[in-house]
Structure 1
């Protein structure tokens, strides 16, 4: 475990191979990591929007919504007069 000041810069401390910072922001991600993250997010949004476009029944339901004016008092739970 590298915890001596001579082997590790003062703003970064290594503990069990993980980097943690004290009163500093984390180191910025690499350019490759940003590109990969953007590509994965783009694919995920494409997947969701494509399936909403081509198969809206998964979200909106596959059956027509009944007309509430055709419901009887018994179906609505209204007691008889």
Structure 2
């Protein structure tokens, strides 16, 4: 029984190998232009150009306003010196004296 199954398995493998050679050599010409499977088609060139222009304007706007008006991001007031804060401002309770 093992020999009969082994023989049929070998015949199947041999036929698959012959078919694999034919599949490698075949050319598919469907005549419908480019067809993409699991890969998107490249966007039209005008879309790429418009996207680059919009991105450039957006980055110019951001960097220009960071340069000319940094107070919007970093704050408009000087940072206070923490060494001058009192214990009361920091929320530290008064020390209790033990007798």
Normalised by the length of structure 2, the TM-score is: 0.59
- Unmatched 5+ residue regions in structure 2? 1-31
How is 1:57-76 mapped onto 2 (pairs within 5 angstroms)? 57-76=71-90
- Unaligned 5+ segments in structure 1 are 1-7, 13-22
Q: After TM superposition, give the deviation of residue 68 of structure 1 in Å.
A: 0.2
Could you say what the CA RMSD is over the residues aligned between the two structures, in angstroms? Answer: 1.7
Partner of 1:18: none
Higher RCO (C-alpha 8 Å, min separation 6): 1
Larger-Rg structure: 2
Q: Flag the structure with higher helix content.
A: 2
How many residue pairs are counted as aligned between the two chains? 63
Partner of 1:53: 67
Normalized per residue, which structure has more strand?
A: 1
